[in-house]
Structure 1
Amino acid sequence: MKETIFFTTLMVMAGLAAPFESFAADAQRQAEVAQRGAEVMPFSLEATTHIFTKSVDGGIQQVIAKNPADSVQIRLIRTHLREIQTQFQRGDFSGPARTHGTDMPGLAQLRAAKPGQVSIAYKDIEGGGELSYRSDDPKLVSSLHEWFDAQLSDHGADAMDGHMHHHQGMTPP
């Protein structure tokens, strides 16, 4: 009987510790991604927020300055996102690979896409910039969603999930 209680107590304690271990691993991963991201992204992760909004045909990635008066961060965001658009249209996903790792969910499929299978449009928005990703291929849309989820996890408090949009061409509020 004592062995059963002891074993049960150990199992409960192990179960309670699991979320803390996961949290520590996530925090360590986020710190590593932030460090590598500083080498790829010219703007400050801490001074910006990444917003990832999935849609039925892709999604929208926004980066905005936390301080709307921070013209330096806004300029850096816009310049970087325009460069990312150009690189991605050429099939060059080396930036996300350097920041998040080559095994980042969805990245291999996006890299393998043929030119034109994923359209990427840039526009300035208040406080930053926005990239819109669209595809007619459901597998690529799924890959975009996986890629968004990975970025949300990796950027932690500096990222947020937008609301799923069910109509094409909608922009988050």
Structure 2
Amino acid sequence: MNHRKRRLLTAGITAVGVGAALGIALLISSTQQEDGNGQTSRQETVAERGRTVMPFDLEATTHHFTPTKTGGVQDVVADQPDDATQVNLIRTHLQQEAKAFSQGDFGDPAQIHGDSMPGLAELEDGYKRIEVRYRERADGATLTYTTEEPVLVDALHDWFEAQLSDHGDHAESGH
């Protein structure tokens, strides 16, 4: 192959590579672009899925995720503490989730966040070694996750981080 043909071939391969990289970058950025309300398309999708799984109104409630040395604490509260409807819906849902999680059923979070959600596989596999406790609070309810296994603590923290990211304005870190 002569020098001119080699240079043209190299230029063509480079252009294809740059074009592919640019296409991938645009695809990634388009899935993370914010709407007019500051939410990414991922957060919008999660909110829509959440409406089919969680009975309470995401716009009237907030999730709080607090990692601990032995697991974590998940609080779901009504934004208006005297909103008895939301408080009761939160309590009913978290009671059901505590029972399901204690039996290794993480189907609701998987339906909302996807089967490849960080930490999910480890929690499903290790559920027998995680204690899930439900507790009512005046403005909603709390689930406390406790384990003595560092791998499961890390999985819980990853799981919390994924929910914080996916829920956007509907969630806060309890750090």
Is TM-score (shorter-chain normalized) higher than 0.5?
yes
Mind listing any 5+ residue stretches in structure 2 that lack a counterpart? 1-21
Match of 1:144 in 2: 156
User: Equivalents in 1 of 2:111, 2:46: separation in Å?
Assistant: 9
**Equivalent residue in structure 1 for 2:84, among 64, 71, 74:** 71
- 1:43 equivalenced with 2:64 (yes/no): no
- 1:116-135 residue pairs with structure 2 within 5 A? 117-135=129-147
**Equivalent residue in structure 2 for 1:94, among 94, 100, 107:** 107
- 1:161 equivalenced with 2:170 (yes/no): no
Mind listing any 5+ residue stretches in structure 1 that lack a counterpart? 1-13, 164-173
* RMSD (Å) for aligned C-alpha atoms: 2.0
**The structure with more radius of gyration:** 2
Query: In the superposition, relative to structure 1, how do residues 114 and 147 fare at CA in structure 2: closer, same or farther (>3 Å)?
Result: closer
Instruction: Give the CA deviation at 1:29.
Output: 0.3
Match of 2:33 in 1: 24
Aligned-pair identity in percent equals 47
Instruction: Give the CA deviation at 1:22.
Output: 7.4
Q: Which runs of 4+ in 1 moved over 3 A?
A: 20-23
Looking at both structures, which has the greater relative contact order when contacts are Cα pairs under 8 Å and sequence separation is at least 6?
1
Instruction: Give the CA deviation at 1:68.
Output: 1.1
- Matched residue pairs, number? 147
User: Equivalents in 2 of 1:22, 1:34: separation in Å?
Assistant: 15
User: Normalized against structure 1, the TM-score is what?
Assistant: 0.80
Instruction: From the two aligned structures, give the one with the greater helix fraction.
Output: 2
Query: In the superposition, relative to structure 1, how do residues 66 and 106 fare at CA in structure 2: closer, same or farther (>3 Å)?
Result: same
User: Normalized against structure 2, the TM-score is what?
Assistant: 0.79
- 1:57 equivalenced with 2:66 (yes/no): no
Amino acid at match of 1:24: Q
Instruction: Give the CA deviation at 1:48.
Output: 0.3
Match of 2:9 in 1: none
